[in-house]
Amino acid sequence: MAAAAPPPPPTAAPITLPEPTPSGHTLFTRIRLATIDDVPHIHKLIHQMAVFERLTHLFEATTASLAATLFPPNAPPPFTSFTIFLLELSSSPFPPSQNPHFTPVLKSLHLDLPIDDPEKEDFRSNANDAINDVTVGGFVLFFPNYSSFLAKPGFYIEDIFVRECYRKKGLGKRLLSAVAAQAAKMGYGRVEWVVLDWNVNAIKFYEQMGAQILPEWRICRLTGEALQAHAHVSL
């Protein structure tokens, strides 16, 4: 008589895999016109820029002097004098807003991981928004100039800066593009700025945006005592 077959092994319990969770992190960005309430953040950004450019020995600006010169009483309309676009970031979508001079640029940015901002509280935005986690991440300061060859006005960018933890994410490009878009909208002929010769990353970035680097030109500057000496020259 044949031996009885062994009982079949117990059936393994089905393995339940966890539901996949969405990966990545969305950061919402806004570029808007700065106001006098933003001066404390603007001052800190300019100082950080001076540190990055190794030019702190030339940094003399104070919040009071910036407020008085950038946002004086009866200030001219934006784009006709000194103008600042402020870059802000939030983990929540920005509510739509209107400005008679400039409609804020709202976009989003998808990241693999959230950004660790050690200065988030120091740069908490002063904007009056329904959301309260808005952080200032950078700025661009510009004003009109003029090209006699083109017979057209243009914009000259004095400063463009993005805080370190937000760099290499396309945010500087958004600031620069906002200025260029405004110039094109107003029928202006060009946008110009300067770059330090050792900042090869910035040079490459500007070239990728279509900017021409003009090595045959040199900056000439009168400032400090050399400038004041001309106040006593008989003309």
Catalytic residues: 206
CA dist., res. 17 & res. 38, Å (int): 49
**Helices marked H in the chain — which ranges?**
39-52, 63-70, 171-185, 200-208, 224-228
What are 23's two structure tokens?
A: 């990966």
Please choose, from the candidates 166, 155, 122, 158, the residue with its C-alpha nearest in 3D space to the C-alpha of residue 140.
158
Give the type of residue at 120: K
Is residue 27 within 8 A of residue 109, CB to CB? The reply is: yes
Neighbour-count burial for 167-181, b at 16+ CB within 10 Å, e otherwise: eebebbebbbebbbe
Q: How far apart are CA 135 and CA 119, in angstroms?
A: 9
197 DSSP assignment: T
